[in-house]
Amino acid sequence: MYPYTPQNDDELELVPGDFIFSSTVEQMSTSEGWVYGTSLGTGVSGLLPENYVSPADECDT
């Protein structure tokens, strides 16, 4: 994960080391290149750039 500072109120701040939960159902309404997720560290939800995150291995979670 790369750090990301939100540019709009509906975006999620990304902090390296945090885990983000992302549901495939919520992705249907997002723009291409963006995903909707929830930070497991803060509980805050919002949009984030898809290329800033990658799926975690099962052993990492």
Return the residue matching tokens 């992705």: 27
The structural domains of the chain, ordered by start, are 1-52 (2.30.30.40)
| CA dist., res. 13 & res. 3, Å (int) | 8
So what's the pLDDT on residue 26?
Answer: 67
pLDDT at 19 (0 to 100): 93
Please give the average pLDDT of every successive group of 10 residues along the chain, which has 61 residues: 94 93 74 90 94 80 57
